[in-house]
Amino acid sequence: MGSGRQGSRRTRRRAGHVQGSRSARRETPDALAAAHANDLAIQAEENVSFDHAWADPVSGTVFCISQAPSAEAVQRIHTRNGIPPAEIHEILMEV
């Protein structure tokens, strides 16, 4: 008997990750869009899905949210694009 939930497949879900970094340069909308596009271009190589990016142009703080098999996979993509995150937080629970 099932738990009453449809689609109760036992598959391992990729964890959500929030990345944050601070840049000395002030991000513009075009620079943020270009950096995000660079991540999207190679994300499949690490089975990562970058969902969204935000920036505070005054402080230079940039945040991204992604789905990935590990924080290391996220780190590798960002590092290859020259924007290694200062922090990566794994999100294990969502509602």
Let me know if residue 53 belongs to a domain: yes
| 77, part of any domain | yes
pLDDT above 80 (res 19): no
pLDDT digits (tens, 9 = 90+) for 69-83: 999 999 999 999 888
In a domain, 59, yes or no: yes
In a domain, 73, yes or no: yes
| 33 located within any domain | yes
- Domain CATH for 83: 3.30.70.3090
Q: 79: buried, middle or exposed (CB in 10 Å: 19+, 13-18, 0-12)?
A: exposed
Position 4 in a domain: no
Count of domains for the chain = 1
- Between 88 and 23, the more confident residue is 88
Q: Domain limits at 30?
A: 15-91
- What average pLDDT does the structure give for the chain? 79
Nearest to 63 by CA among 29, 27, 18: 18
Q: At what angle do helices 29-42 and 71-80 cross, to 10 degrees?
A: 120
pTM as predicted: 0.74
- Surface-to-core class of residue 20, CB atoms within 10 Å of its CB (0-12 exposed, 13-18 middle, 19+ buried): middle
Residue 45 belongs to a domain:
yes
Q: Assess if residue 5 is contained within a domain.
A: no
Report which residue type is found at 38.
N
